[in-house]
Structure formats: structure tokens, C-alpha cells
Amino acid sequence: MSDELKILLINAINPRVEVECRYPGLGLGYLAASARKYLPNARIEFRIADRNVPKITHEFRPSLVGISAVSQNYTIAKNYADFFSQLKIPIIMGGIHITALPDCLPETASVACLGEGETTFVRLLKAYLENQFNSHGLEKIPGIAYWDKGIIQHCESNPQTIDPDMLPLPARDLLAIHPHTYMFTSRGCPYRCTFCASSRFWNTLRFFSAEYVADEIELLSRDYQVTMISFFDDLFAANKPRLEEIIRILEKRRLLKKIKFTCSCRANTVNPELVKLLSQMGVVSVGIGMESADEETLRYLKGNNVCISDNESAITLLKKSNIAVNGSFIIGSPHETSEQIMRTYHFIKHSKLDLFDIYLLTPYPGTPVWDYALKRGLVYNDMPDWSCLDVNIYRNPEKAVILSEVLDKQDILKYYRKFRFLRLGRNLIKVLNHPMRQDIPKMAIALLKEKLSGFYR
């Protein structure tokens, strides 16, 4: 082994899909930054990529590769693993999919890094640097699965829950950062929506401190000239005292009103006090997973702690403070009828929502919806083509996994297209006055390329 270790970290996306290319893979930035912090004497050079992998591999010549993927792109990740295996380069797989289904580890990969990866990744690199990247060394590392003599070995779970403030800021020097970017200020969610894999990936809800969050915002403004930040937390505003402290620090540093923000909220947490704080901070757009305008379907998807009136109230309160409201909705629950689907359609049509998205209920590993689909034989734990789990089924509708027991596939697709048509007309009108309209030219060009790529079926 040479004195310098070259590591290529790959975010396995579909580069032909606009939404997947919109932002860089910040999770890989945390891995690289953690290695730099906790292995300070190691000579490691990192490269992060999400496309043009063969070309970058030829130029960079990595000694070790890490691949991260969500479920719908896991087939892409496996293809990368095949590619690097032929080059005799060891491979670490990570991300939400392999964490939920560690037995999906391809034989071409060496190790699966399960759950929160920073601590485990550093331990794996240490083992590699000490020539312990073998069964004898790997068996001592918690939170992984690995191949040994043709059998996947599962180590004990990683007992350590990472304190977010102990994490270094992600290595954005390895990423392309644009004026509108994103960041995380927490990990986990206190709720357990039946379809959400993210809430199962993070063991507990933890918040980065207000000081940590303010430091990162200041860095993005100073070093990268960022003018808009989207918080990708499941529930950014769940901790109101922390939100108040963030506002105080930003005001003291003269950053308030200098940067605009977007975030996600849960409808039942939106009240006048919270809306006032969001407006004070400079939040201009809020996304809410409203899911359905039918109470029975909503309970199936989100439980008993949110109702239709919460969605209506949240829209009203946010709009009164001139904060744009973007809703996301899901159709295709197992027992959802045509009448229930149309309740959601009419709710959207007559609402004051600024933008909305529509998705098909899709089973993701680790969720109750996945277990339900598994029992019905609609999915299984080692599928040859994971792209059938793409929630944006307009790209290839015939691949869609249909969970409905009361409507056939063609009915579901008919309703989905009806929502998509409403979305097109509504969003075209609303987006021109939306706070995120600065992104329109770039997104439009990328969507046109996506359309012309032949990816749609």
C-alpha cells in the first residue's frame, strides 16, 4: 500500500433524474470530514462523485471505495460494486437500504456499514490502514456486516449514538455548493409514519445545538456565498427553544435577513407562536407532508396524532405570514377507494397551497408498508431491479408496485395522472411568485434533459 490512501465516495443516484442531481451528497461529506478529524495523522485523499464514475476512477485511481444508496437506486449501487470488484478495489457499502437489508450485500462488496456511518467508517479506515481489513479485524467492529468464506457475518449492533455536535462540519470542499444549498440540523424524528424509512434509520431524535447550526449557516454565507438554505431535517422546528436560540445568535452575528430559509414541518405542530418564529428567522417556504384529505387514509399513513383540520390550519397560519406552503400527498394505500382519493384531489384543488407533489405509496425496506407488501408477495428482500421503488412513477409507470386491494393498476395510474395534470397547471401558475423561483431556470433545463434522455417509458 502506498503512503497515501485514496478513497472514492460515491452517491449512487440516477444522473438522468433532475431531482436526484439537484443537491450534492452531504452524507458523504460527513464521512470524509470525520475521517479527517479522527484520523489526523493518516494521509488520505478523498473524492466524492455521483456520475462519470469510470472516468473519475481512471483519473483518481482509488485504493478504497465507499458506495451509498437509497433503495430505488440500489441496483445502480450494485452495478458500481461489480465495476470496482473487477478492478480488485475493496468496497464499503452504506446508506439507508443496506442498513434495512444487510443481507443484500453483494458478493462483490467487502463490508456493509450499517446505520449512522461516521464512527463505523473511521473504524473501518483504521482497520484498512493497519492491514486489518479482513475477517480477523472486521469481526471486532460493531455496526457492520461482511463476507467471510461465502457467508455474510453480522457483527453486534453499534451501541454508540452519535452526539451531533461531535461531528465536524461536512467536507463541502469536496462538493459543488450553489447559492441555494441545504444542511441538516437534527437527526431522527419522533413520529413513525408507516411509509417512512428515514425515521427507522435514525435510532433517536437528536438536535445539533443552536451554536453549531449558526456556525454552519455563517460558514455557508461567508465561504460559499449562499443566499438560501433548505433544512433537510424531518422536523426542523420541533424544538422551539432551540429555534429561538438560533434566531438570537443569527441576529447577533447580523445574519438575519441576509439568508432565506426553507424547512419542513408537521401540520399538527404549526401554531401562531411557531409561525412567528419561522417568519422572524427568514423562513420563506415550508413543506408539509399532508398525505391525504381523507381521515381514514391519513390515520393509516401517519397515525392518530394529525388530522385534516391540522393541515387546513397550518396552511392558513403560514399563508397569513406570507410563508409559502408546499404540500406532499400520497395515493394508493391498500384500502383507499376512488372516493377517498378524490377527496384529496378536491382538497388540493380548492386549497391555498402554493405548490404540491403527488406520490404513489411505495414500500421501502424497514417500514410497516414494506412488511405488508412482503407478506402479499409484491416485493422481496433481494429484487433484481430496485428501481420499481421510485415514488415518481411517471418515469416508468409499468414498474410501479401497486399496493391497492380495491383498485387495479390502471385505475391507480389514471388517478395519478389526474393529479399530475393538476400539479402541472397549478405549479406553473404559482411558481412564478414562489420564493424559490430563482431555481426555475436551472431546474427547467435539467428537466428538459431528463425528458429527452429517453429515461421515460
Same domain assignment for residues 133 and 183: no
On the 0-12 / 13-18 / 19+ scale of CB atoms within 10 A, 196 is buried
Same domain assignment for residues 197 and 81: no
Contact 76, 104 (CB under 8 A): no
Q: Between 453 and 110, where is the model more confident?
A: 110
159 lies in some domain: no
CATH of the domain at 132: 3.40.50.2300
> Where residue 138 falls among pLDDT bands split at 50, 70, 90?
very high
Domain boundary, last residue among 139, 154, 169: 154
160 lies in some domain: no
The yes-or-no verdict on residue 448 having pLDDT over 90 is no
Domain boundary, last residue among 120, 154, 188: 154
pTM: 0.92
Range of the domain at 350: 177-452
Same domain assignment for residues 361 and 242: yes
HSE (CB half, 13 Å, CA atoms) of 209? 9
Euclidean distance between CA atoms 372 and 370, whole angstroms: 5
> Where residue 2 falls among pLDDT bands split at 50, 70, 90?
very low
Same domain assignment for residues 182 and 226: yes
CATH of the domain at 397: 3.80.30.20
Segment 353-377 shows an average pLDDT of 96
199-258 per-position pLDDT tens digit: 788 878 899 999 999 999 999 999 999 999 999 998 898 899 999 999 999 999 999 989
The C-alpha cell 455474510 sits at: 152
- Beta pairing partners, 152: 147
pLDDT of residue 1: 40
Same domain assignment for residues 141 and 197: no
424 lies in some domain: yes
165 lies in some domain: no
Same domain assignment for residues 93 and 189: no
Same domain assignment for residues 18 and 118: yes
> Residue 355 CB: number of other CB atoms within 10 A?
18
Domain boundary, last residue among 154, 187, 218: 154
9-58 per-position pLDDT tens digit: 999 999 888 888 888 899 999 999 999 999 999 999 999 999 999 999 99
Long-range contact set of residues 341-345: C-beta below 8 Å, sequence gap at least 24: 341/294, 341/415, 343/292, 343/293, 343/294, 344/292, 344/293, 344/294, 344/297, 345/415, 345/418, 345/419, 345/422
170 lies in some domain: no
The yes-or-no verdict on residue 454 having pLDDT over 60 is no
Same domain assignment for residues 46 and 10: yes
Same domain assignment for residues 324 and 427: yes
Same domain assignment for residues 273 and 401: yes
Same domain assignment for residues 281 and 409: yes
Q: What total of structural domains would you count in the chain?
A: 2
210 lies in some domain: yes
Overall size of the chain counted in residues: 457
Same domain assignment for residues 66 and 188: no
367 lies in some domain: yes
352 lies in some domain: yes
